[in-house]
Chain A
């Protein structure tokens, strides 16, 4: 087992932290989706940032 899976087992056993972690992560995604709807040039910005990432070693 990897060190990650050993640590994850402990983390998952803590229902409260698990729920917080799950909500916190999914909230980021929901915010992203909301912003996507509200910013008209979203796709253009996404393409530009994607190009920056590809150009950054």
Chain B
């Protein structure tokens, strides 16, 4: 998402009209939160979830605030989840720390990537949540890989599946 919005305009600088450099490209949670601004969602998800912040989400897209910015904590994901009936939202310790995926980083630095992912999943599990949810599919994929290999009692679920849930 950040790569499309911030990287493509550099790569495609001669294509001002190209769809990929369109200013109307939004991440779905910021679109819901900042543009659609729904008063209600009619979603129901009676489970305890642990909220996962992706690095790009925190530090490039403003989906939530990192501690170093010295501003009151806010999270657009949390605001959206608050409209879901029956949900219990927890946040892990070190909520703005990386899960260790990082794209090429996970291939180049596999050992560190896995160690960071294990630590992150453990912190999500310590909240007592049944699900880890977030807006970034790559973090969720990385953590689900660790969960599957180690057969851990928690699952990842993209936030849109919860916002669109009528369980």
Contacts and interface: CB of A to CB of B under 8 A. Distances in A.
Interface of A: 1-2, 4-5, 8-9, 12-13, 18, 22, 26, 29, 32-33, 36, 42-43
Interface residues of B, number: 13
B70 A43 contact: yes
Interface of B: 67-68, 70, 94, 97, 108-112, 114-115, 119
Given A18-B115, A26-B94, A5 B70 contact: no
Overall SS of chain A's interface = helix
B111 A22 contact: no
B67 A33 contact: yes
B3 to A, nearest CB: 23
B112 A8 contact: yes
A5 B115 CA distance: 13
Nearest to B94: A26
Contacts of B119: 22
B109 A5 contact: yes
A39 B67 CA distance: 15
Contacts of A1: 108
Given A22-B119, A33-B67, A42-B70, A12 B112 contact: yes
Nearest to B97: A26
Nearest to B119: A22
Nearest to A19: B119
B109 A4 contact: yes
A2 B115 CA distance: 18
